[in-house]
Structure 1
Amino acid sequence: MIRTALTDLLGIDAPLVGFNRSPAVVAEVSKAGGLGVLAVSAYSPAELDAQLTWIEEQVQGSPYGVDLLVPGNTTAGDPSDLLASLRAQIPDQHREFIAGLLRRYDIPEEASAEGRVMSEFAANLDPSRVAPLLDVVFSHRIALFANALGVPPPEVVARARSAGVVVASLVGKPEHARRQLDTGVDVLVAQGTEAGGHTGTIASTVLTPEIVDLAGDVPVLAAGGIATGRQMAAALALGAAGVWCGSVWLSSHEDITPEVVKRKFLAATSSDTLRSTTRTGKPARQLRSSWHDEWERAGSPEPLPMPLQPLLVGEAWDRIDAAASAGHAKAAELESFFIGQVVGGFTELRPAGEIARSLVADCEKQIEVLAGLRH
């Protein structure tokens, strides 16, 4: 068993945090001795309550956490009719670009489920929508609250502290870490550029020790480029108190990413990702596809800021997903999702619990190997 400041802080058996949007993945990581963390920004309050209740039934008292994306700067809307006011700010040029892209790839017009999800995600980025989600979060027995894309509001830190909940924040630069430490967070997550989703430009092996040196007694988790026990051991060697893994769960059976996208993951190399603003309006690492080629063509518009960009592209992605899952070859060319550079190591789909247990076991073996180098 690997004991660190993180395992002591959270009462978990292994210094492994598994971040995912799929409740089943979250539950399996916690059941395996790590800490599953659910991405909650795309849920309505009622949906979130149901999902957290289900997770608690599965983990039977084992700790778990949530991650809520609250960016510091977004386009503001009218709280009285938020989605309509935001959609009204999308330029016609961008609407016409998306319509033309879908026509060129012959993507069928179908009802939008993911478009609704993306609309919920975009709306939940507005400060007026955060409070109800926080009420749901703190009505459950979460062990950790993670804030992505910015410094958590002081009232959130105070609320978590009064509830005995650990507050974690993701950082991509030393200056980000300094601001988070001033806020009083309990854990820093040093997210290197290799990571999937919203990430910066500094590599994990450079960023992690920088953040560890700044953090003092505050535990630091390494994130980005970690999908094996050897990579987990390397993170601990850099001074991290544990690891925050996201992309690796996209190779699990429980993850809800469409199978057609998972097949593309299995065929990809570590060079097949890029940081792009074309999905959310902020730089996020994802699998490169024809979607990105279209945005890079001469005459294409610049992506919009968050949350306008997810509102613009949400229905398009639903149509692409539906068509690709039905065997539409051109839609499959466009298919993509957030993924880190570790995608090049994916060889098969496995149960999430098996992935978690092998990560920890292989890390322990690698630590023993390194200890054997001493004479």
Structure 2
Amino acid sequence: MQTELSERLGLEHALFGFTPFPAVAAALSRAGGLGVLGAVRYTDPVELDRDLDWIEAHTDGRPYGLDVVLPARRAEGVTEDDVEAMIPEGHRRFVADLLAAHHVPPLAAGDASGWRITGWLDQVARTQLDVALDHRIALLAGALGPPPPDVVARAHDRGVLVAALAGSARHARTHRDAGCDIVVAQGYEAGGHTGEIATMVLTPEVVDAVAPLPVLAAGGIGSGAQAAAALALGAQGVWLGSVWLTTTEAGLRSPVLVRKLLAAGSGDTVRSRALTGKPARQLRTAWTDAWDDPEGPGALPMPLQGLLVAEAVSRIQTYETESLLGTPVGQIVGRMTGEHSVQAVVDDLTRGFERAVDRINRIAGRSTQ
């Protein structure tokens, strides 16, 4: 499963995997793809530095990447407290009432209250960048658009390729004009923040819009046949996220969440603003239903929603409140029916890719010998 881009990066397979778990990122790189660690949860640069050191010690010298959320425009002098003050009291009461209705206890004294900020704060994201560029990352990806011009320049000065996720051809052209080396065409089916255009439609539109820039297809891809379809549409690789959640290396600490993921079908997700304030595909739960209910107050814009619900999400996770417990995940969750190693997932993908290519060759009347 080789393309010009995978050869450029020294990969065995044109498989790019986004994950919040260092062990998954390292395992994917060892398996011949490119593991990309999500940095958004790292508010402590020491923790990020430690985990990047760990990845480098466990990738056998193979390349890996980092995914960050860098605002395109800087908000000078804005602190977390300034943003907290913008949250309406009525929304705080709504969260408290929702937790009470589902009998979610408060956190014990000393328990972590969840991520209070994410990489959307410029100073946090740039600290992550400083740490990352002291390591041997091969790829820097922008999760919510292209990094600012000075960041792109810094990455290029270190020989690091820059990618950005796009939900439309218009976004893709913006990324190209910002100096990105790779565009990830992320379709509606994808987990996490995603747009409204399906992968089958979006991928060739983006390929045409930014040619000859390489494009990765994302969203609804979890099998070798789907990867083959993405390459047939002009992509030079696939970007996978959800399929790694139930791998053994991910080590999800919640048996309840693992059980929900393995039992979910492709129709059991929803695009909701409940978690961050931007539409993000996730498991449908009583939590998402409450925030999407027209009778409710509605989610706040990003980043207010993320700050508002951080402690609540931590409580739901700590006590494994099944009715409310969810996670960002794509429609491909319907294929995630067992716990497997990252290597086993890669093997299944590559074997399926070969079968799909052989099938198309036979249909086209070409010998596969």
Q: Which secondary structure does the structure 2 equivalent of 1:24 belong to?
A: helix
Structure 2: unaligned runs, 5 residues or longer: none
Partner of 2:329: 339
Q: Which whole-Å deviations, capped at 9, do the CAs of 1:58-104 have from their partners, x for residues lacking one?
A: 00210000000124479x6855xx23222222111011000001111
Q: Which secondary structure does the structure 2 equivalent of 1:115 belong to?
A: coil
Partner of 1:223: 218
Letter in 2 for 1:341: Q
Partner of 1:12: 11
Letter in 1 for 2:40: S
Q: Which whole-Å deviations, capped at 9, do the CAs of 1:256-278 have from their partners, x for residues lacking one?
A: 44331121111111111111111
Q: Which whole-Å deviations, capped at 9, do the CAs of 1:318-359 have from their partners, x for residues lacking one?
A: 1111111xxxxxx20111100000111121111122112221
Q: CA deviation at 1:14?
A: 0.3
Q: Select 1:206's aligned residue among 201, 206, 222.
A: 201
Letter in 1 for 2:6: T
Matched, 1:171 2:166: yes
Q: TM-score under structure 1 normalisation?
A: 0.93
d(CA) in 2 for partners of 1:154 and 1:195?
Answer: 27
Q: Which whole-Å deviations, capped at 9, do the CAs of 1:269-319 have from their partners, x for residues lacking one?
A: 111111111100111000001112222345411211111111111111111
Contact 2:116 2:310 in 1 (8 A): yes
Q: Select 2:260's aligned residue among 244, 264, 269.
A: 264
Letter in 1 for 2:329: I
Contact 2:221 2:227 in 1 (8 A): yes
Q: Percent identity?
A: 47
Letter in 2 for 1:288: R
Q: TM-score under structure 2 normalisation?
A: 0.94
Partner of 2:36: 37
Q: CA deviation at 1:32?
A: 0.2
Matched, 1:85 2:75: no
Q: Which has the higher helix share?
A: 1
d(CA) in 1 for partners of 2:209 and 2:89?
Answer: 46
d(CA) in 2 for partners of 1:130 and 1:343?
Answer: 30
Partner of 1:65: 65
Q: Select 1:102's aligned residue among 99, 102, 108.
A: 99
Partner of 2:305: 309
Contact 1:77 1:83 in 2 (8 A): no
Structure 1: unaligned runs, 5 residues or longer: 325-330
Q: CA deviation at 1:205?
A: 0.4
d(CA) in 1 for partners of 2:124 and 2:66?
Answer: 16
Contact 1:143 1:165 in 2 (8 A): yes
Partner of 1:328: none
Contact 1:273 1:341 in 2 (8 A): yes
Contact 1:285 1:340 in 2 (8 A): yes
Contact 1:71 1:148 in 2 (8 A): no
Contact 1:40 1:48 in 2 (8 A): yes
Indicate how the Cα distance of structure 1 residues 315 and 73 shifts in structure 2: closer, same or farther if over 3 A, else same: farther
Contact 1:197 1:284 in 2 (8 A): yes
Q: CA deviation at 1:160?
A: 1.0
d(CA) in 1 for partners of 2:28 and 2:292?
Answer: 38
Q: Select 1:125's aligned residue among 120, 136, 147.
A: 120
Q: CA deviation at 1:120?
A: 3.5
Q: Which whole-Å deviations, capped at 9, do the CAs of 1:145-178 have from their partners, x for residues lacking one?
A: 0011122211111111111111111000010011
Q: Which secondary structure does the structure 2 equivalent of 1:333 belong to?
A: coil
Contact 1:169 1:185 in 2 (8 A): yes
Contact 1:18 1:246 in 2 (8 A): yes
Structure 1 window deviating more from structure 2 (363-372 vs 30-39): it is 363-372
Contact 2:107 2:113 in 1 (8 A): no
Instruction: Within 5 Å, give how 1:230-245 maps onto structure 2.
Output: 230-245=225-240
Contact 2:14 2:33 in 1 (8 A): yes
Q: Select 1:354's aligned residue among 341, 344, 362.
A: 344
Q: Which secondary structure does the structure 2 equivalent of 1:50 belong to?
A: helix
Indicate how the Cα distance of structure 1 residues 275 and 72 shifts in structure 2: closer, same or farther if over 3 A, else same: farther
Q: Which secondary structure does the structure 2 equivalent of 1:189 belong to?
A: strand
Structure 1 window deviating more from structure 2 (357-366 vs 306-315): it is 357-366
Aligned residues: 362
Partner of 1:366: 356
Greater RCO, CA 8 A, separation 6+: 1
